[in-house]
Structure 1
Amino acid sequence: MNGRAILGFITFLFVSGVLYAVGYVVDIKIFTFYYQQETEHQVKTGGSMIPIFIGLISGYILSKVLPKVETS
């Protein structure tokens, strides 16, 4: 792995972690990893993938932009 890939992966982990932490602290359902909704007849559980997608996109953008910044 080269340095750009490692930096992109670290960015992915950091951004996803921050978004999940904000989801838990501020209680935003679309940014929490796990939630449970109980009704009279069923229990629905799930988690949001939005922070993971945002983290992947930010890591990809950083890995593509960084070489252009380093060369100029």
Structure 2
Amino acid sequence: MSKKTSASWDMVQLAGAVADLKRDHYRILLTMSVLVDLLVDRGFVSREELERKTAAIDDELETLIDASLRPMG
């Protein structure tokens, strides 16, 4: 197989892998959405609690990522 054909095949495989990831991502988001709806509908947690906790975890992760990208010292 020539280099051009090999590179083309690599791109086809990459595109397929990305499509698989997109499908998996969609299924995970759908499942999480259903679980959140069930938890809220059954009174285990409120949407406001979920939003507060999500924001807190997001802030914490942003701080950790920033710290790892800009180590002190």
How does the TM-score come out when normalised to structure 2?
0.39
Bigger proportion of residues as strand: 1
Bigger proportion of residues as helix: 2
Larger relative CO (CA 8 A, sep 6+): 1 or 2? 1
Larger radius of gyration: 2
